């Protein structure tokens, strides 16, 4: 029996937390647009994809807390996302960064 190279892999992502993060960001176009805006800022500032991933994950986490603290109508959704992802420290920042940098570069190459 072969030992998997990554026993934590989940639905094609590094682990369940990375998958849950991507699922929640990708499910809402407005949220995805906000994340893409942050990724574009990282690219413009010369961030490496891993640093981009770390920035995006931290930014999104903080944004969710702002939504909850400010009492926006979407606060329940923000709380649900925080709980669904669970252990935010387990999110694979490099995988997130590589995915979003490639995604934004692909989108922007079509637009120009």
Q: Measured between alpha carbons, how far is 25 from 16 in angstroms, rounded to an integer?
A: 14
| Residue 104: pLDDT over 60 | yes
Please give the average per-residue pLDDT across 31-52, as a whole number.
93
Q: Which domain holds residue 77?
A: 16-103
> How many domains does the chain divide into?
1
Flag whether 7 is in a domain. no
| Residue 1: pLDDT over 60 | no
Flag whether 1 is in a domain. no
Tell me what pLDDT residue 7 has.
79
Specify the pTM. 0.85
- For the CA atoms of 36, 74, 89, 6, the dihedral, rounded to the nearest 10 degrees, stands at -70
């Amino acid at each position: 029996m072969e030992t998997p190279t990554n026993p934590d892999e989940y639905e094609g992502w590094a682990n369940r937390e990375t998958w849950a993060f991507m699922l929640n960001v990708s499910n809402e176009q407005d949220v995805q647009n906000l994340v893409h805006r942050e990724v574009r800022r990282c690219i413009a500032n010369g961030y490496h994809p891993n640093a981009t991933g770390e920035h995006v994950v931290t930014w999104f986490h903080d944004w969710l807390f702002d939504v909850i603290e400010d009492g926006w109508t979407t606060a329940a959704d923000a709380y649900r996302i925080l709980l669904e992802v669970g252990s935010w420290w387990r999110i694979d920042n490099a995988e997130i960064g590589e995915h979003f940098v490639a995604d934004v570069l692909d989108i922007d190459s079509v637009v120009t």
